[in-house]
Amino acid sequence: MEFFKFFPLFLTVFLLNKASAEEQSSINAASEKAALLSFRNGIVSDPHNFLKDWKSSSTIHYCNWAGIKCNNSTQQVQKLDLSEKSLKGTISPSLSNLSALTILDLSRNSFEGSIPMELGFLVNLQQLSLSWNHLNGSIPKEIGFLQNLKFLDLGSNKLQGEIPLFCNGSNLSLKYIDLSNNSLGGGIPLRNECPLKNLMCLLLWSNKLVGKIPLALSNSTNLKWLDLGSNKLNGELPSDIVLKMPLLQYLYLSDNEFISHDGNSNLQPFFASLVNSSNLQELELAGNKLSGEIPSIIGDLHVNLSQLHLDDNLIYGSIPPSISNLRNLTLLNLSSNLLNGTIPSELSRLRNLERFYLSNNSLSGEIPSSLGEIPHLGLLDLSRNKLSGLIPEALANLTQLRKLLLYSNNLSGTIPSSLGKCINLEILDLSNNQISGVLPSEVAGLRSLKLYLNLSRNHLHGPLPLELSKMDMVLAIDLSSNNLSGSIPSQLGNCIALENLNLSDNSFDGSLPISIGQLPYLQSLDVSLNHLTGIIPESLEKSPTLKKLNLSFNNFSGKIPNNGVFSWLTISSFLGNNGLCGSSSSSIKGLPKCKEKHKHHILSILMSSSAAFVFCMIGISLAALRSKMRKRFAVCNRRDLEEANEEEEEEMKYPRISYGQLVEATNGFSSSNLIGSGRFGDVYKGILSDNTKIAVKVLNPTRTAGEISRSFKRECQVLKRTRHRNLIKIITTCSRPDFKALVLPLMGNGSLESHLYPSQIDLVQLVSICRDVAEGVAYLHHHSHVRVVHCDLKPSNILLDEDMTALVTDFGIARLVSGGGGGEDNHNNSNNNNGGGGGGGQDDSTSFSSTHGLLCGSVGYIAPEYGLGKQASTEGDVFSFGVLLLELITGKRPTDHFFEQGAGLHEWVKSQYPHQLDPIVDDAMDRYCTAAAERRGGPRPCKRLWREVIVEVIEMGLMCTQFSPSMRPSMVDVAQEMTRLKEYLSHSLSSLYTRR
C-alpha cells in the first residue's frame, strides 16, 4: 500500500528524468551535427559530390550521411571515414566535439593547413589516419597523450618540427605508428618511462631525424616492422635493441649514417643479435658507413631470410661461404663496397636466388662455374671488379638469365659460344676486359637481345660474323676499341631496330654500306678511327632519324652532303679524312671547298626521258588502282549488310532497358550524374530500379548521323563479340532515331587516369593493372574469334573495378580483323575519352580517326608508322601500351611540355637509358614506394627490390615503343612478362602486405 501511496511521485521523477535524458540527447545530436557541418564548411572542393547530403537543411539524419557510422543506441558518431574522396580544404577543430569518435580517416585527399591540436581531446579515438595529404606544421603534442589510440598514420605529408613524445599513461595501446615521408627533425622521442610495449610497426623513413636510436625502443618487444631508412641517424647499429625483438620480420636501416661496433670495425655483434629472429625476412643496411668484415655468423641467420642488402657501405674482406646457408635468399646485394678475395663457389647453393649483385668491389680470381647451377638466376652483376680468367661455359645453363653484366674486369680468353643458349638474355655487357678471339656466330645471332650488346674495349679480332644481322630487336650495339677487321657487312641493315651503332677504333676497311644509313631508326653512328674508304653514302643524308655521326680519321673522299644530319655537324666529325671537301654552301667551317665540275647536257636529256617514263607508269598504276578500289568497296558494303543482320539477331540476347528507365536511373541525365565527357558523347552514372549501378554512354547528338552510327556500331560489335575478365562487359544498348546509348557496368574506382595525377597507386597495383591490360589486349589480338585492334589505349580508357582489377574500354575507333587473319575493316570511328563507365577525370588528350585524314588514336600514344599512312595494327596497340608503361613510371603525360619539341616521352626515356635513369627511378620510388606503405598499412617495401622492378618496367616500355613495328613484342609476350613481374612482387612482398 505504501508503494501505491508514493507511486505518483515515482512516476513524476521517472518522467522528469526521461525528459531530461531526451533533452540531453537532443542537445548532443545538435552539437554533433553542428560539428560535422563546421567540418563541411572547411572543404572547398568535393569533385565527386560525395558530401552532397551534408547540409543543415538535409532531411537525412546525419548518421546516414556518407562516410559516417554512428552508435545505434546513442546516435553518436563513432566513425568518420572520408578517405580517397579527392576532398580539398582544411580540417576543422570542431571535430573534437565528436566525443564518441573512435576512427577518423581522412587519408589520400588534399587537405591543407595544420593538424588541429583539438584532435587530442578525442579521448576515445583509436585510429587516426591523415596520410597522403598536404598537411604542414608540427604534430600537436596533445596527440601523444591519447590513451586509446592504437593506429596513427600521418605519413606522406609536409609535416615539420619534432615528433611529440608518445606517453599515454598505463594504457599502452599504440600498435602502429607511421610518420614516414615528411620533413620531421630531431631525435626519435622514446623514453623508458613511457614504454610502447604493444607497438608492432614503426615507420619513420624519409624524414630528417638525427641522433641515435633510443634504447627505450627495446621495450617494444612485439615489434615486427621497423623502417628508419633515409634519415640522418647515426651511432652503432642497434644490436642491443633488435636483440629484444624476436618477432621482427622487416628491418630497414638503409641510407643513414650508422657504423658498426668497436669503432666501426666489427659487424659480428649486430648479426649475432639477429640470430634468434626466426621471422626475419628482409634486412636492409645499404647506404650507411658500415665497415668491417662480413662475419661468418651471417650464415646463422634464419633460413626465412629472403632479401639481404649490404650495398653501398665500406665493408671489406672476403665473402664468407656461410652466406650459402641462407638458402631462401632471392636477392643478395653486396655491391659498392671494398670486398676482396674470390667469389665463393658455395654460393651456388642459393638455389632460389634471382638477383645477385657484386659490382663495384675489388673481387679477384675467376668467376665460379658453379654459379651456372642457380636455376632461377635472372640477373648477374659482377661488373667493376678485378676478376680474371675465363667466362665460364656453365653460365649457358642459366636459362632464366636476362642480364649478364661482367664489364670492367680483367677477364680473358674468348667469349663462350655456349652463351648463345641463353635464349632469354636481353642485355650482355662484357666491355672493358681483356677478351680476345673472334665474336662467336652463336652469340652474334642472339635474337633475344632487346636492349644492348656491349663488347667494347677488348681485344676481339677478325671480321664481323654475318649472324649479327639476326640481332633484329637490339637497340644498341657497341663493338668499339677492338681489333675487328674486314668490311662492314651490308647485312647489318637487317638490324632494323638499331638506334645506336658504335664500330669506332677498329680496323674496318672498304666502304660504309648504304644499308647502314637506311636503318629506319638509327640515331647515332660512330665509325671513326678505322680505314674506311669511298664516298659518304647518300643514305646518311636522307636518314630522318640520324642525330649524331662521327666519320673522323678514315679515308673517306668526295663531297660532304649539306642536308639532314650534315646540316648541324661540325668539322670534328670529319677530321683525318684528307679527301673530303665541302660545297660552297656548306655550313661546316674549316673544310676545303670542292672544285665544281661542268654538267653534261646528256644528263639533262636522260633525266627528262626518265621523268616522262615515270609519269606514264604512274598514270597506268592509278587507273588500275581505281578499278581495284571499286571492287573492294563493293565487297565492304556487302559485308556491312551481313554484319548488320548479325547484330540484329545478337541484340535479342541482351536485356531490354527502355529510354524511360535510363532517364529515371540518371535523374534525367542531370549534370550531377555526369562522370565523363568525350569527343563523341557523355557518360552518366545511374541506378536501375533493381539497384544495379550502371554507366550510360550517350552519343552526342550534335555529331553527324554517320559518325554516330559508325561509332555506335563499332563499339557494339566489339563488346558483343568479346568476353574476357579484363574487357568491359556490355549490359545492353538503347537505340532510337535521336538517341543512342551503351549501358555498361559502373566501375567503382573510375578510370586509371583519375588515379595518376596525383599518383594514388603503388607499384604492386601498377604492375597488376598493367598485367590486366596486357591480358585483355592480348585476348583481343590473338584469342578472340574476331581479332580486334583497339587503336586508342590510354589511361582514361582503362577502368578499375572495386578490387582495382583493370578493364579495357572504349572501342569507338577499334578495328575488326575478321577470321583472325583477314583484311582490316575500314570503318573507323571517333573516340569517347571516358570510355564505357568509369568516370575518370577529364582527359586532355585528343583522339583522331583516320577516316577523316587524321591519325588513329590519341596524341602522344599514336604509333609512328601511323604518321606514314600505315593502317592500324596490333603492333600499334603495343606501342601505345609501351607509352602507357613509361607514363606510369615517369608520372609524365606523353604530351607534357617538359619534352623537347619533336621528341616524345619514349624518346626522352630512351635518351636516359641505361646510365642516367636514377632521377626517373628515384622519382618513381617516391610516388609508388610510399603509396604502398600508406595503403597497405605495412612498412616501406625494400628500396633495392622496387628499384629493379621499376627498371624492368621501363625496359619493357622501351621494347614496346621500338620504332620498327615488327621488332615490338606481341601482347602475349608482354602479358607473360608482366605476369612474371607480378608474381615476383607477390612472392617477395606477400608477408609485407598482410593487411593490418
Catalytic residue, candidates 105, 153, 792, 825:
792
Return the sign of the alpha-carbon dihedral for residues 892, 897, 899, 901: positive
**CA–CA separation, 550 vs 570, rounded Å?**
10
In this structure, whether the domain defined by 412-593 belongs to CATH 1.10.260.40 is answered with: no
**CA–CA separation, 116 vs 96, rounded Å?**
9
Beta-carbon contacts of 45 under 8 Å, excluding residues fewer than 6 positions away, are: 86, 87, 88, 89, 110
* Angstrom distances, CA of residue 660 to CA of 666, 673, 731, 740, 838: 10, 16, 16, 13, 22
* Angstrom distances, CA of residue 125 to CA of 128, 167, 934, 949: 7, 15, 19, 39
* Angstrom distances, CA of residue 535 to CA of 114, 507, 539, 597, 861: 71, 18, 11, 17, 39
Which residue, among 696, 719, 726, has the nearest Cα to 808 in the 3D structure?
726
Q: Under DSSP, is residue 912 helix (H, G, I), strand (E, B) or coil?
A: helix
DSSP β-ladder status, 674-678 and 681-687:
antiparallel
Q: How many Cα neighbours within 13 Å face the side chain of 261? A: 13
- In the chain, the amino acid numbered 168 is N
**CA–CA separation, 796 vs 802, rounded Å?**
17
Give the domain 639-989 fold. Transferase(Phosphotransferase); domain 1 (1.10.510)
Low-confidence ranges of the chain (pLDDT < 70): 1-27, 168-172, 596-656, 677-680, 700-722, 812, 817-856, 897-903, 929-945, 987-996
559 annotated among ligand-binding-site residues: no
The beta-strand segments (E) located in 836-905 are 847-848, 857-858
Whether the CB-CB separation of 220 and 243 falls below 8 Å is answered with no
- In the chain, the amino acid numbered 24 is Q
Q: Where in the chain is the domain with CATH 1.10.510.10?
A: 639-989
DSSP characters for 686-729? EE-TT--EEEEEEEPTTS-HHHHHHHHHHHHHHHHH---TTBPP
Beta-carbon contacts of 883 under 8 Å, excluding residues fewer than 6 positions away, are: 860, 861, 894, 904, 905, 906, 957, 960, 961
Taking residue 600's Cβ as centre, other Cβ atoms within 10 Å add up to 9
**CA–CA separation, 946 vs 333, rounded Å?**
13
Q: Where in the chain is the domain with CATH 3.80.10.10?
A: 2-174, 412-593
**CA–CA separation, 429 vs 928, rounded Å?**
30
Taking residue 369's Cβ as centre, other Cβ atoms within 10 Å add up to 16
**CA–CA separation, 403 vs 425, rounded Å?**
6
**Cis-peptide into 914, omega within 30 deg:** yes
Please give the grid coordinates belonging to residue 769.
593493372
Known catalytic residue at 792: yes
10 exposure class (CB count in 10 Å sphere: 0-12, 13-18, 19+): exposed
* Angstrom distances, CA of residue 8 to CA of 12, 18, 20: 6, 15, 18
DSSP β-ladder status, 307-309 and 410-411:
unpaired
Question: What pLDDT does 242 receive?
Answer: 94
Which residue, among 64, 61, 113, has the nearest Cα to 90 in the 3D structure?
113
Return the sign of the alpha-carbon dihedral for residues 857, 860, 863, 866: positive
The per-residue pLDDT for range 183-196, each reduced to its tens digit, is 999 999 988 888 88
**CA–CA separation, 406 vs 478, rounded Å?**
15
Please give the grid coordinates belonging to residue 605.
636529256
Q: Which residues pair with 227 in a beta bridge?
A: 203, 252
The per-residue pLDDT for range 394-426, each reduced to its tens digit, is 999 998 898 999 999 999 999 999 998 888 888
Whether the CB-CB separation of 319 and 357 falls below 8 Å is answered with no
Question: What pLDDT does 640 receive?
Answer: 36
- In the chain, the amino acid numbered 628 is K
364 exposure class (CB count in 10 Å sphere: 0-12, 13-18, 19+): middle
Whether the CB-CB separation of 811 and 715 falls below 8 Å is answered with yes
Distance of CA 471 to the CA centre of its chain: 27
365 exposure class (CB count in 10 Å sphere: 0-12, 13-18, 19+): middle
Class of 2-174 in CATH: alpha beta
CA 108-113-119 angle, to 5 degrees, is 80
**CA–CA separation, 188 vs 233, rounded Å?**
9
**CA–CA separation, 172 vs 194, rounded Å?**
8
Question: What is the 8-class DSSP label of residue 560?
Answer: E
**CA–CA separation, 912 vs 950, rounded Å?**
14
